Chains A and B, each alone.
Chain A
Amino acid sequence: DTEVTQTPKHLVMGMTNKKSLKCEQHMGHRAMYWYKQKAKKPPELMFVYSYEKLSINESVPSRFSPECPNSSLLNLHLHALQPEDSALYLCASSQGWGARNQPQHFGDGTRLSIL
Chain B
Amino acid sequence: QKEVEQDPGPLSVPEGAIVSLNCTYSNSAFQYFMWYRQYSRKGPELLMYTYSSGNKEDGRFTAQVDKSSKYISLFIRDSQPSDSATYLCAMGLTQGGSEKLVFGKGTKLTVNP
CB-defined contacts of B94 to chain A, threshold 8 Å: 100-101
For the complex, count residues of B whose C-beta is within 8 A of A: 26
CB-defined contacts of A2 to chain B, threshold 8 Å: 43, 45
Contacts A42-B88, A42-B106, A103-B34; is A97 near B43 (CB within 8 Å)?
Answer: no
- Cα distance A71–B41 in the bound complex, in angstroms: 27
B29 smallest CB distance to A (angstroms)? 12
| A56/B95 in contact, CB under 8 A | yes
| A50/B42 in contact, CB under 8 A | no
Q: Per-residue 0/1 for B1-28: is the Cβ within 8 Å of any A Cβ (1 yes, 0 no)? A: 0000000000000000000000000000
- Cα distance A49–B23 in the bound complex, in angstroms: 28
Closest A residue by C-beta to B34:
A103
Q: Is A51 an interface residue (CB 8 A)?
A: yes
In A1-24, which residues have CB < 8 Å from any B CB? 2, 4, 6
CB-defined contacts of B45 to chain A, threshold 8 Å: 2, 106
- Cα distance A48–B31 in the bound complex, in angstroms: 18
| A51/B46 in contact, CB under 8 A | no
- Cα distance A4–B96 in the bound complex, in angstroms: 22
In B32-90, which residues have CB < 8 Å from any A CB? 32, 34, 36, 41-46, 49, 51, 88
CB-defined contacts of A111 to chain B, threshold 8 Å: 41
Q: Is A77 an interface residue (CB 8 A)?
A: no
- Cα distance A97–B99 in the bound complex, in angstroms: 9
Closest A residue by C-beta to B6:
A42
A96 smallest CB distance to B (angstroms)? 6
| A31/B105 in contact, CB under 8 A | no
CB-defined contacts of B43 to chain A, threshold 8 Å: 2, 4, 6, 90, 106-109
Q: Per-residue 0/1 for A37-59: is the Cβ within 8 Å of any B Cβ (1 yes, 0 no)? A: 00011110100111100011000
| B105/A97 in contact, CB under 8 A | no
Q: Is A86 an interface residue (CB 8 A)?
A: no
| B99/A101 in contact, CB under 8 A | yes
Instruction: Name 9 interchain pairs, CB-CB below 8 A, sorted by A.
Output: A43-B103, A48-B100, A94-B98, A97-B97, A101-B51, A101-B92, A103-B49, A106-B44, A108-B43
